[in-house]
Structure formats: structure tokens, C-alpha cells
């Protein structure tokens, strides 16, 4: 009988040990557990009022605020570590999902109900949501296990279809400016902080209809998106802005009378045009890749 008790105690102690071990491992890898990605992503929708913000006009905000960056912070647990003992390249994309969602939710979610109402009045049916078109990532430095890092995303540019988001994986700055951002650093130190940089393309869809990004921004209260001069040209029946099909070439009737509004638009236009010059080579390369794909698939060994 004593032997049976001893054996049962051994089994219990062993079970407790393994339960404890499993719990510790789960806590150390909480970020990588099933459904945690969904919680990390979707919490930003509800944080910014998804499903509870009514379809009403939002308080006006300067349009240049859509360019403001937003940061999240994370680390690389054991389940994200590869055989080189640093964060696996494939796991960067789950952090990108969270970072982009945090950014876009902060910008457009409060205007989502109003935007959906406007689109339905135009006869547009279907689910309203953002779809990822492509991601380009350049890895600069490895991220060791459990090292905290910052994931900073911002809208670099947009056109009639796409929103271009640039994301930096960074070593958190030790010094902060009074306004909350990183204090000024010399270029060499800034480059040493960079772990990776990514470029993502987002498109907003209502069913099969492609929603111009500008409409989503305006529904969220961001104004203006065109200068008073551009408004006057459009009212007179002339094309507005650039003819390259990008955001500043997509005219809209909007009251922008004050000079301050015109200045706001000029600042926004300058930044989205600058961002486009950075993004454009990647966009062009995508077209070349598709052309090369068609060419290669016509060859016997690829077909």
C-alpha cells in the first residue's frame, strides 16, 4: 500500500512539475499563443470606437495629422526565435499586422460608420474593410530573444486607390523630446537603431468597389484635401492637381476658403508627393516582377 501511495505521489509531483513548466512556457510565449494575434489586432478597432461610433460628422482635424506616426512595442519570445537565436524573419509580418491596424484604426475607424452610410446611399454593397496588397521588408539588424523593440508606422503617401504605409522596427530611444518623440539624434545613431524597414500597400474596399482613401479620411474629419485654388479650378470645370493619377490629382468639391486651409493642404501635398518619390521605385518593381512572371511562365521549364 505504501508503495502505491509513493508511486501516486510521484505521478502527482511529476504532473505538477509539467503543469508548472507548461504554464511558465505559455507566459513566456504569450504573444505567440493561439488567438493572441487576433486579440492584438482587433483590440485597436474597438479601442477607437468600432461599432459604437454613430454615423455622424466627426470634429474637423487638420489633414496633415494623417501623416503622424504611431508606435507599438513588442519583444521576440522563444517561439519567434530561429536557429540563429534571434527573431525569425517570418514573424516580422505578424507585428506589421498589429502596427498597421493600430495606425489605420486611429485614423479612420471613427469615420467608418459615416463612410459606410455614404457608400450605401450610393448603392455600394458589401463588407467595408482594408485589404493588404503587398509588403516589402528590408532587414538591417537581428533582434535578439526577448529584446524590446518599437514598431513605428506612418502613412508615407496615398493615391486614388492605394495607401502606402512605411514601418520601422527600431531599438527604443533612450532619450525623448518634451513632445513625446525621440530627441534629435545624428544620422549614424539613427541608422544603428534600425532593425528593419517595411513598405505596405493597403486598399479600402466596399464589396468589390474600391474606395478612394481620401473619402475615408474625410469621413473621419480630416480636412482640407485640396487648396482653395484647386477648388476654384474644379468649379470652373478644369482638372485639378497633377495628372499622374495620384491623390493630388483626384478633385473634389469642398469648401476650403480660408488661407490657413490652403496652407494645410500645401503641407500635406508636399509630404505625400515626397513620400511617393520614395515608394514609386517599389511600385514600379512590382510591375516588372509581374511582367517577368508572365515571361518566365511561357517557358517550358516554368509552365
Report yes or no on 242 lying in a domain. Answer: no
Phi, psi dihedral angles at 147 (to 5 degrees)? -80, 130
pLDDT tens-digit readout, 11-61: 666 777 677 777 878 877 888 888 999 999 999 998 998 888 999 999 999
Report yes or no on 112 lying in a domain. Answer: yes
For position 250, what pLDDT does the model report? Answer: 38
Report yes or no on 195 lying in a domain. Answer: yes
pLDDT at 160 over 50: yes
pLDDT at 159 over 50: yes
For position 225, what pLDDT does the model report? Answer: 81
Confidence at 214, pLDDT banded by 50, 70, 90: very high
Report yes or no on 103 lying in a domain. Answer: yes
d(CA 227, CA 232): 9
pLDDT at 197 over 80: yes
β-bridge mates for residue 158, sequence order: 163
Angle (CA) 105-40-86 rounded to 5° is 120
Average pLDDT, the chain: 84
pLDDT-above-70 percentage for the chain? 82
Confidence at 7, pLDDT banded by 50, 70, 90: low
C-alpha cell at 273: 508627393
Report yes or no on 1 lying in a domain. Answer: no
C-alpha cell at 215: 473619402
Q: Residue 142 carries which DSSP code?
A: -
**Lowest mean pLDDT: which of 23-32, 72-81, 164-173, 254-263?**
254-263
Model's pTM, two decimal places? 0.82
Total number of domains in the chain:
1
Kindly write down the DSSP assignment for every residue of 159-222, as one continuous string: BSSEEEEEEEEEPPPS-B-TTSSBPP--HHHHHHHEEEEEEEEEEEEETTEEEPHHHHHHHTTE
Domain that holds residue 223: 34-175+184-230+259-302
pLDDT at 143 over 60: yes
Report yes or no on 283 lying in a domain. Answer: yes
For position 183, what pLDDT does the model report? Answer: 53
Report yes or no on 10 lying in a domain. Answer: no
pLDDT at 68 over 90: yes
Report yes or no on 29 lying in a domain. Answer: no
d(CA 238, CA 41): 43
For position 75, what pLDDT does the model report? Answer: 94
Sign of the alpha-carbon dihedral angle for 220, 259, 164, 138: negative
For position 244, what pLDDT does the model report? Answer: 43
The residue-averaged pLDDT of 121-130 equals 92
pLDDT tens-digit readout, 224-275: 887 544 544 444 444 333 334 443 333 333 433 333 477 888 999 999 999 9
Does a cis peptide bond (omega within 30 degrees of 0) precede residue 91?
no
| CATH code where residue 210 lies | 3.10.129.10
Identify the three-state secondary structure at position 35. coil
Amino acid at each position: 500500500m505504501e508503495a502505491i501511495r509513493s508511486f501516486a505521489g510521484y505521478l502527482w509531483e511529476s504532473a505538477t512539475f509539467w503543469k508548472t513548466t507548461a504554464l511558465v512556457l505559455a507566459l513566456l510565449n504569450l504573444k505567440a499563443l493561439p488567438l493572441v494575434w487576433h486579440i492584438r489586432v482587433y483590440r485597436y478597432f474597438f479601442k477607437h470606437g468600432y461599432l459604437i461610433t454613430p454615423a455622424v460628422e466627426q470634429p474637423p482635424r487638420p489633414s496633415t495629422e494623417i501623416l503622424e506616426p504611431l508606435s507599438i512595442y513588442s519583444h521576440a519570445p522563444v517561439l519567434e526565435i530561429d536557429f540563429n537565436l534571434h527573431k525569425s524573419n517570418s514573424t516580422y509580418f505578424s507585428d506589421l499586422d498589429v502596427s498597421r491596424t493600430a495606425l489605420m484604426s486611429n485614423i479612420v475607424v471613427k469615420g467608418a460608420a459615416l463612410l459606410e452610410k455614404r457608400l450605401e446611399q450610393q448603392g455600394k454593397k458589401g463588407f467595408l474593410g482594408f485589404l493588404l496588397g503587398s509588403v516589402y521588408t528590408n532587414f538591417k539588424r537581428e533582434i535578439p530573444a526577448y529584446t524590446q523593440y518599437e514598431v513605428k508606422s506612418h502613412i508615407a503617401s496615398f493615391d486614388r486607390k492605394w495607401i502606402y504605409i512605411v514601418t520601422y522596427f527600431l531599438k527604443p530611444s533612450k532619450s525623448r523630446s518634451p513632445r513625446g518623440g525621440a530627441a534629435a539624434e545624428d544620422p549614424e545613431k539613427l541608422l544603428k537603431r534600425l532593425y528593419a524597414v517595411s513598405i505596405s500597400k493597403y486598399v479600402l474596399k466596399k464589396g468589390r468597389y474600391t474606395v478612394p482613401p481620401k473619402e475615408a479620411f474625410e469621413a473621419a474629419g480630416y480636412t482640407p484635401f485640396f487648396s482653395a485654388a484647386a477648388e476654384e479650378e474644379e468649379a470652373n470645370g478644369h482638372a485639378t492637381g497633377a495628372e499622374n493619377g495620384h491623390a493630388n490629382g483626384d478633385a473634389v468639391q469642398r469648401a476650403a476658403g480660408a488661407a490657413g486651409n490652403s496652407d494645410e493642404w500645401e503641407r500635406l501635398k508636399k509630404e505625400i508627393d515626397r513620400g511617393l518619390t520614395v515608394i514609386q521605385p517599389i511600385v514600379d518593381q512590382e510591375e516588372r516582377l509581374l511582367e517577368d512572371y508572365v515571361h518566365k511562365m511561357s517557358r517550358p521549364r516554368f509552365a
